[in-house]
Structure 1
Amino acid sequence: MKLFTYWRSQAAYRVRIALRLKGLAIEKVSLDLLKGDQFAADYQKLNPEGVVPTLIDGEARPLVQSLAILEYLDEKYPQPPLLPSELHARAHARAIAQMVAMDAHPFIVPRVRKYLEDELHVGEAARAEWVRHWLDAGSDALDQVLARDPRTGKFSVGDQVTVADICLAAHLTSAKLFGGREPSEYPTAGRIYANCMAIDAFAAEHPLRQPDAPAA
C-alpha cells in the first residue's frame, strides 16, 4: 500500500491517522505541494486534480479524496471501525467530518492561497489572516455543535474514535500550524483533541513528525 502525502496536508493527515489506527503498513511518498510536485506528469496520471492524498492499494486504481479513502479503508479493513454502529450516530459522525473537510478546509488549501496571491494580488499578511479566519470559524462551529449534542463523550460521538475525531484532530492541528487559536481555547473540541492526541496513531502521524517536515 502506497500513500502520496505532504507533511502539512490536513487531508493526508486524516488518512495517515486511519491507516495507523488500523495497523496497515504503508509506503509514504512525499510531495512538496509548495514546489508543485503534484503537477508532475506521472502524478497527474494518478490524481488529475493535483492534490493529496492519493492511496494505492494493490493493483486497484488509485483512491483519492480523504473522506472517500477513510470509508474505503473502513469497509475493506473493518477493525477497528471508524463509524458508529447506530444509524443516526453514523450520520452525525459523517456530518462532523464534513464540517471540516467540505466547509472549513477548502478555503485554505494551497491552490486557493496561490490564487489569492497570483491572481488577486493579496499580500502575505492578508493571506495569513484569511487562513486563520476560516480555520477559527470552523473550530468555533465544531465546538458549538459538540458542546450542544448529548452524544458527545470522550470523543465526538461517544467514547470511541470515529471519522469525526480524525477530521477534528487534523483541523485543530492545522489551526495551530497556521497560527490560529489553540485547541485549549475550545472547551469541548479542545478536550476531544487532547484525548485524540494521547493516542499513538494521532501523535505519530502528526505533521511535524513526518519525514518531509521542515527541521525545527
Structure 2
Amino acid sequence: MKLYTYWRSTTSYRIRIALNLKGLQYESVPVNLVKGEQSSSDYVSLNPGQGVPALVLDDGTVLTQSMAILDWLEETRPSPALLPEDPVERAHVRAASLVIATDIHPVNNLRVVAKLKAMGHSQDEAVAWMNEWMAKGFEAFGRMIGEDTSFCFGDTPGLADLCLVPQLYNAHRWGLDLAPFKRLTEIETRCLALSEFDAARPENQPDAA
C-alpha cells in the first residue's frame, strides 16, 4: 500500500498509527502541503479533496478521508480492535473521536488558517484561534472518555487515542496551555511509549523538516 502523507498532518498521523498497530506494511509518499503539492493535477486526480491522507491499496483502489480509512481498516483488519464490540460503547468511542476529527481539526486546518491570514488576521490571532478551538474541544473530549482507564476507553489504545495524540501534537506546537488537561497528556505519554505510536510521530517521518 501507498500512504500519501505529510509529516505534520494530524489526519495522516492518525493513519500512520493505525497501520502500525494493525501491523500493515506501507510506503510513505510525501505530499508537501506548504508547497501546495496537494493542488497539483496529478494529486487532484488521485484525491479531489486536495488533502491528505490518501491510501492506495495493492489493487489500486484509492481511499481518502482519515475517518473513512480508519473504518476500512477496522472492517478489513479487525485485530487488534480499535473499537469495542458493544454497539453503545462503540458509539461513545466514535463520538469522542469525532469531537477531535470534526469539531477541532476542520477549523484548525492549514487552509482555514491561511484564509484567516488572507482576511487580514495576524499570526498571533491565527494561533489564538487554533488554541481556542483546541481548548474547547479537549474540555469536551475529557468529559467523554473513561475516568480510570490507562487509555481513553480501556487498557489498550483505540480510535479515540489515535485522534487525541496527533491533536495534542498540534497543541504542543502552538503553545496551548495543557495544564487543565492532565489526564489527556498522561494518556499521550502512555501512547507515545508504544513503538507503533513512536514510529508514527511527525519528527520520525522521511519528509520531516
TM-score by length of 2: 0.94
1:37-76 mapped onto 2 (5 Å cutoff): 37-76=37-76
1:206 is matched with which residue: 182, 201, 208?
A: 201
The answer to whether residue 135 in structure 2 is matched with residue 136 in structure 1 is yes
Deviation digits for residues 134-154 of structure 1 (CA, Å, limit 9, x no counterpart): 1222222222333xx55x511
Supply the distance in 2 between the matched residues of 1:69 and 1:174 (Cα, whole angstroms). Answer: 21
Deviation per residue, 1:156-205 (Å, 9 max, x gap): 112122101111111111211222234x6413222221211111111111
Superposed counterparts of 1:104-143, under 5 Å: 104-118=104-118, 120-143=119-142
Q: Is the 8 A contact 1:63 1:69 kept in 2?
A: yes
Please identify runs of 4+ aligned residues in structure 1 that moved more than 4 A.
none
In the alignment, structure 1 residue 95 sits paired with structure 2 residue 90: no
Instruction: Please state if 1:197 is matched with 2:196.
Output: no
Stretches of structure 2 that go unaligned for 5 or more consecutive residues are none
Conserved? CA contact 1:128–1:178, under 8 Å: yes
Q: Secondary structure at the match of 2:103?
A: helix
Superposed CA RMSD in Å reads: 1.4
Answer yes or no: is the 8 Å Cα contact 1:139–1:172 preserved in 2.
no
Higher mean displacement: 203-212 or 28-37: 203-212
Percent identity of equivalent pairs = 39
Within 2, Cα distance between the matches of 1:194 and 1:107? 26
Distance 2:175 2:207 in 1: 20
Of residues 133, 146, 151, the one that matches 1:155 is 151
Q: What TM-score do you get using the length of structure 1 for normalisation?
A: 0.92
Give the CA deviation at 1:127.
1.0
**1:76-131 residue CA offsets vs partner (Å, 9 max, x unmatched):** 1111111111111111111111010000111111110111112x111111112111
Quick one: which of 158, 168, 174 aligns to 1:172? 168
For 2:109, give the aligned amino acid. V
Aligned residues: 209
Cα distance in 1, alignment partners of residues 205 and 132 from structure 2: 26
Equivalent position SS for 2:153: coil
Q: CA offset at residue 213 of structure 1? A: 1.5
Q: Distance in 1 between matches of 2:205 and 2:136?
A: 27
In 1, distance between residues paired with 2:174 and 2:124?
12
Quick one: distance in 2 between partners of 1:137 and 1:199?
A: 28
Structure 1 residue 60 displacement after superposition: 4.2
